[in-house]
Amino acid sequence: MKTSYFYKNPKTILNKGTGFLSDYSHSLNPYTGCSFGCSYCYVRQMPVAAFRKEEWGTWVDIKKEAADVLRKELARAKRKGKVTIFMSSSTDPYQPVEYKERVTRSLLEAMADDPPDFLFVQTRSPLVRRDIDLLLQLKDKVRVSMTVETDREDMRKIFTPDAPPIPARLKTLQLLADAGVPVQATVAPVLPSSEHFPELLKSLVDRVCVDDYFMGDGSGGKRTRQLGIQSMYEKLGLGEWYGPTAYRKVYDELRKVFPEGRVYLSQEGFAP
């Protein structure tokens, strides 16, 4: 998918944590739009995308001088109370344009200088490994959550062909964990996976979160239904993997191999 890039100068960059992110004081998006363009991404139905003519995944706004704006907003927010930040709620902070633009890295530099009480970094990109030096400066005030929806590359290629390969994400989780960065694997949404998936994750991380379209799309599954995702499962003859209880296929197996209390479900797995 070809992506068009636009430069913007936002006046603000920290948004209030609401809804699914109400455990956080703020959310932080280095970009608007996301070139990974996952088929199931419900952000395409939110106002940020719904008012654009171009298809979701084909455009990205790059927030220029974002770190300067953040430094000011962060200092102001910290004077008012506890600051917990979710990065990012409607884009991937380590999508390909970040290699060149380094907006996310500049935001991390600002947060390393003036740390928030907690930062949650949500990505599915191996590029996060570039910033291990800054993540380590945040010590236990950070957690990197790597999306790993499945261990099956054939499924990843069908549902999210422009996102990074699964083996690269697993390798990155291992690198981060070995470096001492707090991490979790996040199985969200639940795509069809192999029976070896739980053991594979256990060999890499000590914490995992499972979320699905019904708990995690902010509308009880309505947004996902409008995207026609169910028919993708049915065409593959894997309809049993789609439904409000299908997550248990993975969740129950993970609970068998992970220690008590280390398998989180939906919102609790993203909390500060």
Nearest distance in Å: CB 127, ligand SF4? 12
3-state helix, strand, coil in the chain (%, to 5): 45, 15, 40
Q: How far, in Å, are 167, 248, 267 from residue 199 at the CA level?
A: 15, 16, 23
> Smallest Cα–Cα separation from 176: which of 150, 199, 205, 151?
205
Tokens at 200, concatenated: 């594979």
Residues that bind ligand SF4 (CB under 6 A): 34, 36-38, 41, 43, 91-92, 124
* Distance between CA atoms of residues 219 and 222, nearest Å: 5
* Residue appearing with tokens 């636009």: 6
* Distance between CA atoms of residues 272 and 265, nearest Å: 14
| Per-residue DSSP letter, 55 | P
| DSSP states of 13-68 | -EEE--GGGTTSSEEE-SEES-TT--TT-GGGGSHHHHT-SSPTTSEEEEETTHHH
CB 89, CB 239: distance < 8 Å: no
CB 6, CB 62: distance < 8 Å: yes
CB 254, CB 198: distance < 8 Å: yes
* Distance between CA atoms of residues 189 and 144, nearest Å: 17
- Positive or negative, the Cα torsion across 65, 49, 46, 105? negative
